[in-house]
A and B are shown apart, each in its own frame.
Chain A
Amino acid sequence: MIRMFLRHVTKDISAYCHGELSSDESKQFAEHLIACGKCRTKFEEVKLGIKLAEQLPRLSAPDRLWSELEPLLEQRTTKAVRPAGFWTWQSKVAAAAVLLLVASLGAFWIYKNRPSNGVQKPSWLVKRVDGVTRIGKEQISNNGRLAIGDWLETDRGSRAQIDVATIGNVDIEENSRVRLLQTRADEHRLELVRGKMSARIWAPPRLFFVDTPSAVAADYGCAYTLEVKDDGGSLLHVTAGWVQMESKDRESMVPAGASCETRPGVGPGTAYFDDASPDFRAALTKVDFEHDPAVRSAALTSVLDQARPRDTLTLWYLFRGSEGKDRERLYDKLATFVPPPPGVTREGLLQSDEKMMSQWAALLEPPWTGSGGEKTSRKLKEMAPK
């Protein structure tokens, strides 16, 4: 891990983009990329090269080629010894039938994929990985196309991979159901209503979105897994970069190494690092989703008691959304880990002074992302209350 982090990853960029690295290698690659400006620059260059290479069309051989080839083959056939009986007239009829079948299937495919009103429906490439994958009611053999409005379903033991236009790809795990809602230059949007997916996106922030029953995951250039449970709640786990979970009333920024739970009718909870203790996480769930103020207050006490310096991520976002006594308690705990810089006052922070919030956030964030602080800081400034 440390070796990979230190080693530049420029040689692996194409393999990463083509999904040729193992999941561990991909994760390490993405983590290095977040932290290394040099590799990010090269990544952008190779990404453009891939985008360009994808424009190479497959060409059609001229129809006359076979008729020109046939006489030349004839000359060679006469020299060849053909054993009698293997390729019988029945087999020739079968071959002709096969050719006819290929032609018919081709015609059917062209008919099915014909442009409607002269406009080709945008779609993404789907590759079947294991088991049975369906687009709509049709089972795909190896590859298929997912058009806007189409549902893709995997059953038990089956998996599929989707190319998200040219900006990334998504692995769909077993027993999952997703729909393509939109794909255009400024927005690519999937809906995940059941199951689990892993996304790897190499695009500017907020180009790729996944709608779930309880929140929307907005990509900030990252890799993550997202699972929707039977009750409509979801669990996000980020492996590189940042993801924002958002609903009508709530939003939560989640960095690499952290997770976020969402609940239907409520929205996202607060992000927490995966290495936080089970008690800390259980208390946080109560703070985020419990209705009884007394229970929430007791749970907040437990969160504060168990918080480590790295948990300032959780405390900071709780602080931003809190008020009254809870806000003061959260400030006091945060300040023991990272005191506000000179000129930033307790009163100013309790009153959500925008400038002071940004200054403190810049000091708080380094432990959350290792050396990838610059991007985080910028994001935190964007997120500061207005």
Chain B
Amino acid sequence: MVMAEQLIDGRVIEACQQGDRDAFQLLFETYKDKVFSIAVYSSDGDRALADDITQQIFLKLFTAIRQFRGDSEFTTWLYRLVVNACLDERRRRRRLLPWGEMVAMKKAGERKPQEKHYARLEISEAVQAAIAELKPKFRLPILLKYIEGLSYDEIASVMGCSKGTVASRLNRGHSQLAKRLSHLNNPEVWGD
């Protein structure tokens, strides 16, 4: 994937800005999994919704890329667009979905882990459910760190905040994850 990202150079971006579909497909293939992952984790694991969000993001990117002036890294600019789209979608859903249904959706994703012996996949599912319950300001830095592999400086640039704020939000996000999933703090659970 790193090699694929290196293929997205100024020439490809310039071609995309001219509306070239082949160049845009290259861009799409390079970033689709990353964008889709953030969309899934930002939509409480609803993959159908994540499909829509991903599609909307690339549709928007197709026209918005003309506004990219190269003042920042392209990836930073792209992730900013992704983060904003996910936040917009969440706000829209809050307006449309009554509070009770939001809670019900989350409850449906909850498990009673202490009754089970966790396999890695189950740990991963528990983490995904816990991530979905974090506030966006704590969740998004975690996604940008662990899904996209960005540095604190890059996350700060995407989120429009200071590096110190990123550090603080990641710290609080990690703490909340640990508290919610404290029952997983057991070597047997990890199969160690």
Q: B187 — which chain A residues lie within 8 A by C-beta?
A: 185
Does any Cβ of A come within 8 Å of B192's Cβ? yes
When chains A and B are docked, how far (Å) is the Cα of A48 from the Cα of B175? 8
Residues on B lying within 8 angstroms of A by beta carbon are 2-4, 6-7, 12, 14-15, 18-26, 28-29, 32-37, 40-41, 51, 54-55, 58-59, 62-63, 120, 123-124, 127-128, 130-131, 142-143, 145-147, 151-152, 163, 167-168, 170-171, 173-179, 181-182, 184-185, 187, 190, 192
Residues of B contacting A: mostly: helix
Is B55 in contact with A65, judged by CB distance below 8 angstroms? yes
When chains A and B are docked, how far (Å) is the Cα of A89 from the Cα of B58? 24
CB closest residue in chain B, given A186: B192
On whether A58 and B127 interact (CB within 8 A), knowing A15-B152, A49-B173, the answer reads no
Choose from B3, B51, B142, B152 the contact partner of A141 (Cβ within 8 Å).
Answer: B3
- Total number of A residues with any Cβ neighbor in B under 8 Å: 53
On whether A20 and B18 interact (CB within 8 A), knowing A14-B174, A76-B62, A105-B3, the answer reads no
Is A49 in contact with B177, judged by CB distance below 8 angstroms? yes
Q: A73 — which chain B residues lie within 8 A by C-beta?
A: 21, 24, 59, 62
On whether A99 and B29 interact (CB within 8 A), knowing A49-B174, A52-B178, the answer reads yes
When chains A and B are docked, how far (Å) is the Cα of A92 from the Cα of B130? 44
Is B26 in contact with A95, judged by CB distance below 8 angstroms? yes
Does any Cβ of B come within 8 Å of A130's Cβ? no
Choose from A14, A59, A77 the contact partner of B171 (Cβ within 8 Å).
Answer: A14
Interchain Cβ contacts under 8 Å between A and B, 25 examples: A11-B168, A13-B171, A13-B174, A15-B152, A15-B167, A45-B174, A45-B178, A48-B178, A50-B174, A52-B181, A55-B123, A56-B41, A56-B131, A58-B147, A60-B33, A61-B36, A66-B29, A73-B24, A76-B62, A86-B14, A86-B20, A87-B20, A95-B26, A98-B7, A186-B192
Nearest CB on B from A161, distance (A) = 12
Choose from A15, A62, A69 the contact partner of B58 (Cβ within 8 Å).
Answer: A69
- Beyond A57-B124, A69-B28, list 7 extra A-B contacts (CB 8 Å): A14-B174, A45-B174, A46-B174, A49-B177, A62-B36, A73-B62, A95-B12
> What is the 8 Å Cβ interface bit string for chain A, positions 34-52, against chain B (1 contact, 0 not)?
0000000010011011101
When chains A and B are docked, how far (Å) is the Cα of A186 from the Cα of B192? 8
When chains A and B are docked, how far (Å) is the Cα of A259 from the Cα of B76? 43
Is B178 in contact with A59, judged by CB distance below 8 angstroms? no
Residues on A lying within 8 angstroms of B by beta carbon are 10-15, 18, 20, 42, 45-46, 48-50, 52-62, 65-66, 68-70, 72-73, 76-77, 80-83, 86-87, 91-92, 95-96, 98-99, 102, 105, 141-143, 185-186
Q: B190 — which chain A residues lie within 8 A by C-beta?
A: 185
Is A56 in contact with B147, judged by CB distance below 8 angstroms? yes
On whether A87 and B15 interact (CB within 8 A), knowing A48-B185, A59-B33, A95-B23, the answer reads yes
Q: A50 — which chain B residues lie within 8 A by C-beta?
A: 174
Q: A105 — which chain B residues lie within 8 A by C-beta?
A: 3
Is B2 in contact with A142, judged by CB distance below 8 angstroms? yes
Nearest CB on B from A106, distance (A) = 8
The 7 closest A-B pairs by CB, nearest first: A49-B174, A185-B192, A61-B36, A80-B19, A49-B178, A48-B178, A61-B32
Nearest CB on B from A78, distance (A) = 10
When chains A and B are docked, how far (Å) is the Cα of A87 from the Cα of B18? 9
